[in-house]
Amino acid sequence: MSGTPRTGAPFIVTSRTGDATRPPMEEGHTLNAYLASGGYQGLRKALTMNPEEVVAEVLASNLLGRGGAGFEAGRKWSMVRPNPVRYLVINGDESEPATFKDRMLMERDPHQLVEGTLIAAYAIGAAQAFIFIRGEFALGMERVIAAVNDAYRHGAIGANIFGSGFSVDLVVHPGAGAYICGEETALLESLEGKRGYPRIKPPFFPAAIGLYGEPTVVNNVETVSNLPWIVSNGGAAFAALGQGRSTGTRIFALSGHVVRPGNYEVEMSKLTFRDLIFDPELGGGVRGGKSVKAFIPGGASAPWFGPDQLDLPLDQDAVGKAGSMLGSGSVIVMDSDTCAVRAAWRIARFFHRESCGQCTPCREGSGWIDKVMRRIEDGQGREEDLDLLMDACDNIAPGVSWPPAQTTICVLGPSIPSSVAWSIRMFRDEYLLHIKEGACPCP
């Protein structure tokens, strides 16, 4: 991004080959490389502006949060309660299965993250910022810490940044290995040294009551990584990319049964899922030339799509209207050989293992569903299990629709039906085959 000026053309990176227009990033994480490609110019420019002007640029860019909920970043900032103390927390606890875009940004472009964080801190008037990084990201942690230390020495962090009179400290905090801490209020609890339990809403946003009870902005790593470019090039330039509310570019983490899984940064709304999966420059098609059986458009928490939805644009609202979400931007492709039961069970098992246990429907429901799904996959299912699963899903997310209602404290609960209930709806016959044959019929 700011390491390489944007051209408006799709900017593509892949984790597999690194052969796209992005220069090799082996040294991209160092301060010198970053400075050489124009690093920290966005921050310098921001510091010459009023914080309000920075907020205005971001509002103009219509940058949507890249963490999953897709809330407008500028609006989130505007909602922060006036207070002598405000905190900025960057959510780098990327743990959604098949989502790996923040990881790449932290490992390969940590200075861009640091610069974006500093711009956000300046915009909201935070004197203390935190980057909360998933504990398992050893390399990302090492690189972001190194970047923060280098930035301190460079005068970009600390007291009186670049002589502007603005001061902010930045702390990198390792997560303790819980998926739930990607949920922003659980992250704040964890950051406070407590058990990572999501807080009960309302208050709906940490902007009112956040870290240590003070107003807090929680932004995703990718969201703030866009800021140096937006400040350098202007919000309007960002908004000119994409379409409707979905502006700018976005990194899609493509995985599953595609020829070229990887991270692809593309302009929003301009391409379809079919393009992303089949374009030779991008996913390169389904492996073995098979057809797409189903795909998940926005991470393991999102309802499944079938081949009919392949022509939907990579657009937040379009996907939402079609009954799922763009979510964390990870697209999982299942080919025609995939066992839908097994795939749904694997996702259900993940949520079972990652349920924090705070509230009953998720704690007990996830385990129950995991056990039933496993039983069906193992050929021990009963026909009534399908109604049971749908009803258990309904007791976690009443109505089992999208966007979901929930009986749980946080949205981990309604993430469980997304794979189980939708796969039953799409592949009921396949479930029944498991039950009637007493074994998984898939190759």
Partner 1 sequence: MPVSVNESGIPSEDTVTITVNGKQIAAAKGEMIISATDRAGVNVPRFCYHPRMKPVGMCRMCLVEVSGPRGMSLQPACYLPVADGMEVVTDSEKVRKAQDGVLEFLLVNHPLDCPVCDKGGECPLQDQTLAYGPGESRFVEEKRHWAKPIELSDLVLLDRERCIQCARCTRFASEIAGDPLIDFFSRGDSTEVAIAPGEKFTSYFSGNTVQICPVGALTATPYRFAARPWDLEQVESTCTSCATGCRVVVQSSSNQVIRYLGVDSDPVNQSWLCDKGRFDFEAHRAGSRVTVPMVREGGELVECTWAEALRKAAEGIGRAMEVASDPSSAVGVIGGARLANEDAYAWAKLVKSVIGTDSVDADLGDGLPADAVLGLPKATIDEVCSAPLVLVMTPDLRELAPILFLRLKAAAQSGRTKVIELTSVGTALGRYATETLVYRPGEAASLVAALFADSDPKPLAAGMEIPPIAGVAASDVARTRALLAGFSSAVAVVGRPSLAESTEATVAAVAALSAARPETRYLTVHRRGNLHGALDAGLAPGILPGRVTLEGGRSTFAAESGWGRVPASTGMSTHEILRSAAQGSLGALILLGADPVVDFPDHESEKALSGGAFVVAVTAHLCESARRADVVLPAAMYAERGGTTTNFEGRVTTLGKKVTPPGQAWEDWAIAAELATALGSDLGFTSFDDIAAERTRLVPLFRHFTPHIWNAPSTRDGVLLPLATAPVGLTGAPRALDPVATPGIGSLPHHAVRPPSPSPLFAGTGTTGPSGAVASPGAVRFSRPASPPDLPAPDAYSLRLVAPYRLYDCGTHVVGSAHLAALAPVGTVRVNHYDLDRLGASTGDTLRAVSPGGSHQVVVEVDDEVQRGTAVMGFNLAVAEGSVSARSLIDLSAPVTDIRLEAHR
Strand positions, DSSP E, 257-373? 262-267, 292-296, 330-335
Q: How far is the CB of 386 from partner 1 (least distance, A)?
A: 13
- The neighbouring-strand residues paired with 258 are 286
Quote the CA–CA distance of 116 and 110 in Å, as a whole number.
10
Q: Please, is 135 exposed, middle or buried when counting C-beta atoms within 10 Å of its C-beta (0-12, 13-18, 19+)?
A: middle
Peptide bond preceding 280: is omega within 30 degrees of 0, i.e. cis? no
Between residues 243 and 360, which has the closer beta carbon with respect to partner 1? 360
Alpha helices, H only, 90-191: 101-108, 110-124, 138-154, 184-191
| Residue 198-227 contact track with partner 1, rule CB under 8 A, x = bound | --x-x-------------------------
Q: Is 347 in the site for partner 1 (CB under 8 A)?
A: no
In terms of CB distance, is 116 or 381 closer to partner 1? 381
CB of 399 to partner 1, least distance (A): 9
Choose which of 72, 136, 281, 364 interacts with partner 1 (CB under 8 A).
Answer: 364
Residue from the set 332, 372, 420, 435 that interacts with partner 1 by CB under 8 A:
372
Neighbours of 119 (CB within 10 A): 27
* CA–CA distance, 183 with 408 (Å, rounded to integer): 13
Dist. CA 291–CA 149, nearest whole Å: 48
> In whole angstroms, how close is the CB of 35 to partner 1 at the nearest point?
43
Find the binder of partner 1 among 346, 360, 402, 432 (CB under 8 A). Answer: 360
Q: What is the DSSP letter of 336?
A: T
CA proximity to 369, closest of 396, 398, 401: 396
- 136 touches partner 1 (CB under 8 A): no
> By CB under 8 A, is residue 30 in contact with partner 1?
no
Total residues in contact with partner 1, by rule CB under 8 A: 36
Query: Which member of 31, 54, 271, 356 binds partner 1 (CB under 8 A)?
Result: 356
**372, 374, 376, 378 alpha-carbon torsion, rounded to 10°:** -150
DSSP run (H or E) holding 128: strand 128-133
For position 357 contacting partner 1 by CB under 8 A, the verdict is yes
Nearer to partner 1, 45 or 363 (CB): 363
Cβ atoms of residues 324 and 302 within 8 Å: yes
User: What token pair was written down for 325?
Assistant: 């979400």
Binding residue for partner 1, selected from 96, 222, 275, 354, defined by CB under 8 A: 354
Which of 206, 365 has the CB closer to partner 1? Answer: 365
The yes or no reply on residue 366 touching partner 1 (CB under 8 A) is yes
Q: Which residue's CB is nearer to partner 1, number 213 or number 398?
A: 398
Task: Kindly state the smallest distance separating residue 75's Cβ from partner 1, in Å.
Answer: 16
Rounded Cα–Cα distance for residues 275 and 113 (Å): 29
Residue 438 near partner 1 by CB under 8 A: no
Residues 356-373 as b/e (b if ≥16 CB within 10 A, e otherwise) read bebbebbbbbbbbbbebb
- Of 53 and 387, the one with the shorter C-beta distance to partner 1 is 387
Binding-site member from 20, 85, 363, 402 for partner 1 (CB under 8 A): 363
Site string for partner 1, 378-417 (x = CB under 8 A): ----------x--xx-xxx-x------xxxxx--------
Asked if 3 is part of the footprint of partner 1 (rule: CB under 8 A), the reply reads no
Q: Compare residues 183 and 354 and give the one whose CB is closer to partner 1.
A: 354
Q: Lay out the sheet containing 262-267: strands in order across.
A: 262-267, 249-256, 330-335, 292-296
Based on CB atoms, which residue is closest to partner 1, 135 or 158? Answer: 135
DSSP code per residue over 209-251: S-GGGS-EEEEEHHHHHTHHHHHHH-HHHHHHSEETTEESEEE
Kindly tell me the burial class for residue 386, based on how many C-beta atoms sit within 10 Å of its own C-beta (0-12, 13-18, 19 or more).
middle
Residues numbered 154 to 183 that lie near partner 1 (CB under 8 A) are: 178, 180
**Least distance in angstroms from the C-beta of 182 to partner 1:** 14
267-286 binders of partner 1 (CB under 8 A): none
Residue nearer to partner 1 on the CB measure, 72 or 364: 364
Choice from 367, 390, 401, 440 touching partner 1 (CB under 8 A)? 367
Rounded distance between C-alpha atoms, residue 21 and residue 112, angstroms: 18
Binding site for partner 1 (CB under 8 A): 178, 180, 195, 200, 202, 352-361, 363-368, 371-372, 375, 388, 391-392, 394-396, 398, 405-409
